[in-house]
Chains A and B, each alone.
Chain A
């Protein structure tokens, strides 16, 4: 029992489709620890159905506004949508201002759309450490599409590629130098590129240039060729095209059995990361490991033992069968 309430009762209400219970369970997941694991254990069998779509790109490119527009179109097609919007946590105060809802206002009136703002907290990668888990929860809650919007700085573009089936990279004509700096990573992970602010006078040129850059890349036969779409979230133009290309990408993955392959790859990486995190924590918290460090660091300081010698001594303490 914690301030969030009894986990069993929350899970039961979650099962009945209660939004407040789902929201509270996401907070439990964010808090981490044993209760978070209990929630994940319980909901995990209900996951796997959702199409996870990442939206990334530089700050100010219009990710939130596009997510808003795309959600409107997807709702019209009968989808139930979950949105995870990540904003940065201040490394100085630990606080965060989560403002993505400002651009998604009309969605608050639609009960079939669940929007959750997450602060990046300790994560450096531009998405919260809890993104996968929150997506799982929305997935198990019956959302068949989960849109994940990254912070837009740091290595978010690379991390989102490990979490989403389809990655949409949002760019704007005037982001020029900013894009240059991010290009390498972005170019490699985008399935769909949106040149937003299509009403801008340089938009058509910028889109053509982008297309050209993408064509330089070798694409193996039968592989998905990244596409460029001109759109304007503000003017609400090009959104149909964008959605159509996203759907095409999904169909491409499904027809070739790639969706399942990707699902497995994503899960394998998650399990691996979770094991590493757990092992690291256990090592850090182990009194005997600490004792060896305490005792042997003097020898390292004096140059009598190399760092690796201490590692070998520690390894003898750890048994992995």
Chain B
């Protein structure tokens, strides 16, 4: 059977707006991927544990609260600790340009800002998992 790309879409922290996360989750599903959506208010620990148990290829974090500089490094660190350093982590939300640069240095593969075409996110993942 052909491999399927599995993606975890998570909302860390306190902000309660998950429309963006849901739009992305739907777009990836429509692109033929298996998308696990965790719902709101996830701690980095919950996100990393879910990503590991679900054995996803990709983790997408949506953050609108401004907590990105703590959330992303925490999730990346926990994934490494749990033996899942090979997972591709990307993000979306309102994140200033200087932080984007910093996050990409830390190992976040890409940050998608407001107004991103979902097609760009699909091709971003497809480029890295061409078999699917």
- 15 A-B residue pairs with Cβ-Cβ distance under 8 Å, sorted by A, are A13-B83, A20-B55, A32-B1, A94-B4, A95-B35, A97-B25, A99-B37, A101-B50, A105-B46, A108-B42, A109-B45, A109-B49, A115-B50, A117-B36, A117-B54
Residue of A nearest to B43 (CB): A109
The reply to whether B34 and A95 contact each other, CB–CB distance below 8 Å, is: yes
Answer whether residue A296 sits at the interface, using C-beta atoms and an 8 A cutoff.
no
Answer whether residue B121 sits at the interface, using C-beta atoms and an 8 A cutoff.
no
B residues whose Cβ falls under 8 Å from a Cβ of A: 1, 3-4, 6, 25-26, 28-39, 41-43, 45-47, 49-50, 52-55, 82-84
Kindly identify which residue among B25, B33, B43, B53 contacts A19, using a CB–CB cutoff of 8 Å: B53
Q: Report chain B residues within 8 Å CB of A95.
A: 28-35
CB distance from B50 to the nearest CB of A (A): 5
Answer whether residue A119 sits at the interface, using C-beta atoms and an 8 A cutoff.
yes
A residues whose Cβ falls under 8 Å from a Cβ of B: 3, 13, 18-21, 23-24, 26-27, 30-33, 89-90, 93-99, 101-103, 105, 108-109, 111, 114-117, 119, 121-122
The reply to whether B36 and A93 contact each other, CB–CB distance below 8 Å, is: no
Residue of B nearest to A111 (CB): B49
Number of A-B pairs, beta carbon distance below 8 Å: 98
Q: Report chain A residues within 8 Å CB of B35.
A: 95-98
Complex Cα distance A99/B52, Å?
Answer: 16
CB distance from A16 to the nearest CB of B (A): 11
CB distance from A297 to the nearest CB of B (A): 29
CB distance from A104 to the nearest CB of B (A): 9
Q: Report chain B residues within 8 Å CB of A109.
A: 43, 45-46, 49
Q: Report chain A residues within 8 Å CB of B31.
A: 93, 95
Indicate the member of B32, B53, B84 with the most A CB atoms within 10 Å. B53
Q: Report chain A residues within 8 Å CB of B1.
A: 30-33, 121-122
The reply to whether B37 and A20 contact each other, CB–CB distance below 8 Å, is: no
Residue of A nearest to B132 (CB): A94
Are A102 and B39 also in contact (CB < 8 A) when A90-B29, A96-B29, A109-B46 are?
A: yes
The reply to whether B28 and A31 contact each other, CB–CB distance below 8 Å, is: no
The reply to whether A98 and B37 contact each other, CB–CB distance below 8 Å, is: yes
